Amino acid sequence: MCSLLFLFFDRTIEQFSQTSIEDLYSNTIQHSFVIEPTEVDYLKQIVLAYMTGTDRLTMAKVICAVLRYNESEKSLIIDEEKLRQSRWLNSTR
Compute φ and ψ for 87, nearest 5 degrees.
-65, -40
Burial class (CB in 10 A: 0-12, 13-18, 19+), 36: exposed
| pLDDT per residue of the chain (93 residues) written in tens, 0 to 9 | 333 333 333 333 333 444 445 554 554 455 556 778 888 899 999 999 999 988 999 999 999 999 999 999 999 999 999 999 888 777 876
Other Cβ atoms within 10 Å of 52 Cβ, number: 9
pTM: 0.58
